[in-house]
Amino acid sequence: MLVSPRKNGSLPGRNRLRLVSFGFIVFFTTISAQLGYLTVWQGRPEKPAAEYSERVPRPDIVDRNGVVLATDVSFFSLYADPRKILDVDEAVELLTATVPDLDAKTLRQKLAQPNRAFVYLKREVSPSERDAIHNLGIPGIGFRAETKRVYPMGRLASHVLGYVDVDSKGIAGIEKFLDDQGALYTASLGEDNSRAMPAVLSIDIRVQHALADELAKGIAKFRAKAGGAIVLDVRSGEVLGLVSLPDFNPNQPDKNFTFDQANRMTSGVFELGSVIKAVSFAMALDYGVADLTSRFDARAPLVIGRAVIHDFQPTRRILSLPEVFTNSSNIGTARMVLGVDAERHQAFLRRVGLMDRLVTELPENAKPILPKRWGRLVQATIAFGHGFAVQPLQGAQVVAGLLNDGNMLPVTFLKRDAADARAMAKRVVKPKTSETLRYLFRLNGLEGSARSANAKAPGYRIGGKTGTAEKVVNGRYDKSRNLTVFTGAFPMENPQYVVMVLLDEPQATPETYGFSTSGWNAVPTGGNIVARIAPLLGVEPILTDDERKAIAKQAQKEGRT
């Protein structure tokens, strides 16, 4: 068979050509892939995980009147790509000479990492530092535009606002709520699609300031260890002000806050003493086991088994129901509550929410401490707030509901519409019970342990209930350490606001004649608060003739006309 010389000679040549072409294709493909990898991936600085996910910018937080309480400000941070640093020693020398607070040893360790594409060298460089570093022209050194959370009011409302960490993640307070549950705020953008709509709080910063100022004065005057105060809108459940002292500054770079700086009003539980008597009276009145004509024997201590219940200031006589309230009689209150069986007693406490944890937008909320077994003695002691601990805000919420025609509202730290508030109302007692309780509160403000509040805030018709509880120290009640509480409301003919004041271990002063109970410290502090905030809230004083005379006499004494 004859083979064509042309075909026979071209076959090896074509194979070589194919092989060379394939080699060039593989070579250029490899080079292109490597260049693409270096350009697209390794050319990018390594970002923290949080920065890879696209997030809506953190919303501002404003008070109910639009005053900014928390916002983001822009700044630049200094970073390096260690792979591009040509001379580590030279870079360290130049940078430390330009920015003296950079530590040379730490800086060298960060730059001497050839496998790293991104390391922070300094967060928040000043504009002058940025310009100076830029002019150095060091390869691999750059700046990242970032934001920082700032709180223009400083310590004011710090426990409500909370704070964020260095990566702008909410750690406490409303800031944490916005991250954990506040999708409504973080997902609603403004018109420019670059900033989230602000989170509008129920807090009135004017009220918050007055509250913090008067509480601080009360703590100083009575040499208390700490304290707290709340102002609650009865008709909407909105918290207009909440203070816990000592507080903290959320702008502080180091967020290692102490236990004493915790929010006592929500994250702490306390025996609120006789404040719980308001709940006991409401229960007895609502169940029909007592009314204003009922009388209770307080001539001698009440003996239950081996326990003996005394009154702080014994009257040693039979008391009417209003007298039991104004004299804050433990004996009379216990006898009244023992007319209700334990099951119904627990059912009422559950109805008003005292058996469960109070949950609000603030993540810091403590669970009540309840007795494990319910017997006749437990019933009697719980009647006057002994052996039963709840959040102070929880106590304020219950009192607000009892005085609001029996309609209790869930408390909130977010601004709430009036119509929404009415829809959330839950009836806990009959309107008649609420009316009677309002009468008892006002009577106590005129004749009982809360009367000094009216003296401090004449014309605002304050009513309230006091409470003094021995603190538990090392598992035992310490008679030398008291927690004093005043829960008041005004104006009592139509309560609009509830004020609670708590003082931790207040001391007796010459002015209090050696007493350190609530009527001598928490009550006058509460009166001062009402006098400050009532005008801000649009409540006008209506002075009686006696109040006018008292004001004129005081003005004359102080040399005023």
Which element (helix H / strand E) includes 311? none
Lowest mean pLDDT among 181-190, 433-442, 476-485: 181-190
Please state, in angstroms and rounded to a whole number, the distance separating the CA atoms of residues 463 and 460: 9
Lowest mean pLDDT among 117-131, 170-184, 224-238, 406-420: 170-184
Query: Would you state the pLDDT for residue 49?
Result: 34
Residue 187 above 50 pLDDT?
A: no
CB crowding 421-454: b at 16 or more within 10 Å, else e: beeebeebbeeebbebbbebbbbbbeebbbbbbb
Residue 383 above 50 pLDDT?
A: yes
Quick one: CA dihedral 236, 238, 241, 242, positive or negative? positive
Query: Would you state the pLDDT for residue 426?
Result: 96
Please state, in angstroms and rounded to a whole number, the distance separating the CA atoms of residues 233 and 418: 11
CA atoms within 13 A on the CB side of 483: 25
Helix locations, 222-355, DSSP H: 264-267, 275-287, 321-326, 330-337, 342-351
Whether the bond between 314 and the residue before it is cis, its omega within 30 degrees of 0, is no
| Residue from 288, 289, 287, 281 nearest 322 by CA | 281
**What pLDDT band is residue 1 in, cutting at 50, 70 and 90?**
very low
Q: Do domains 54-77+146-201 and 208-557 have the same CATH topology?
A: no
**What pLDDT band is residue 4 in, cutting at 50, 70 and 90?**
very low
| Rounded (5°) CA angle 155-245-496 | 90
Q: Which two structure tokens, joined as six digits, stand for 490?
A: 């005004």
Q: Which two structure tokens, joined as six digits, stand for 420?
A: 């929404």
**What pLDDT band is residue 12 in, cutting at 50, 70 and 90?**
low
What is the DSSP pairing of strand 119-125 with strand 68-80? antiparallel
Please state, in angstroms and rounded to a whole number, the distance separating the CA atoms of residues 522 and 500: 9
Instruction: Please give the share of the chain, as a percent, with pLDDT higher than 90.
Output: 72
Average pLDDT for 475-494: 91
Please state, in angstroms and rounded to a whole number, the distance separating the CA atoms of residues 70 and 201: 11
- Diameter of the chain measured on Cα atoms: 141
Q: What residue has token string 């509550």? A: 337
Q: Check if 202 is active-site.
A: no
CATH number of 54-77+146-201: 3.90.1310.10
Please state, in angstroms and rounded to a whole number, the distance separating the CA atoms of residues 170 and 246: 21
Please state, in angstroms and rounded to a whole number, the distance separating the CA atoms of residues 233 and 404: 10
Please state, in angstroms and rounded to a whole number, the distance separating the CA atoms of residues 170 and 202: 19
CB-based contact 110:97 (threshold 8 Å): no
Residue 3 above 70 pLDDT?
A: no
User: Under 8 Å CB-to-CB from 313, ≥6 apart: which residues?
Assistant: 327
CA 357 to chain centroid: 15
Q: How many CB atoms lie within 10 A of CB 193?
A: 8
Please state, in angstroms and rounded to a whole number, the distance separating the CA atoms of residues 213 and 347: 39
**What pLDDT band is residue 470 in, cutting at 50, 70 and 90?**
confident
Residue 43 above 80 pLDDT?
A: no
Query: Would you state the pLDDT for residue 274?
Result: 73
Amino acid, res. 476: R
Query: Would you state the pLDDT for residue 18?
Result: 63
Please state, in angstroms and rounded to a whole number, the distance separating the CA atoms of residues 264 and 172: 14
pTM of the predicted model as reported, rounded to 2 decimal places: 0.84
Query: Would you state the pLDDT for residue 552?
Result: 83
Query: Would you state the pLDDT for residue 551?
Result: 83
CB crowding 73-100: b at 16 or more within 10 Å, else e: eebbbbbbbbeebeebeebbebbeebbe
Each residue's pLDDT tens digit, 530-551: 999 999 999 999 988 888 888 8
Each residue's pLDDT tens digit, 46-80: 444 333 334 457 899 999 999 999 999 988 999 99
Three-state DSSP class for 472? strand
Query: Would you state the pLDDT for residue 502?
Result: 97
**What pLDDT band is residue 553 in, cutting at 50, 70 and 90?**
confident
Given 274, 329, 452, 518, which residue is catalytic?
A: 274
Q: Which two structure tokens, joined as six digits, stand for 305?
A: 């088994």
Instruction: Between 409 and 273, name the one with better pLDDT.
Output: 409
Q: What residue has token string 């709520």? A: 177
Residue 184 above 80 pLDDT?
A: no
Domain borders along the chain are 54-77+146-201, 208-557
| Residue from 261, 223, 245 nearest 482 by CA | 223
> Mean of the per-residue pLDDT values for the chain?
88
Q: Which fold has domain 208-557?
A: Beta-lactamase (3.40.710)
End-to-end CA separation in angstroms for the chain: 139
Q: How many CB atoms lie within 10 A of CB 234?
A: 24
Q: Which two structure tokens, joined as six digits, stand for 412?
A: 């909130």
Q: Which two structure tokens, joined as six digits, stand for 180?
A: 């954990």
* Angstrom distances, CA of residue 548 to CA of 320, 458, 462: 32, 9, 16
Query: Would you state the pLDDT for residue 256?
Result: 87
Quick one: CA dihedral 343, 352, 430, 466, positive or negative? positive
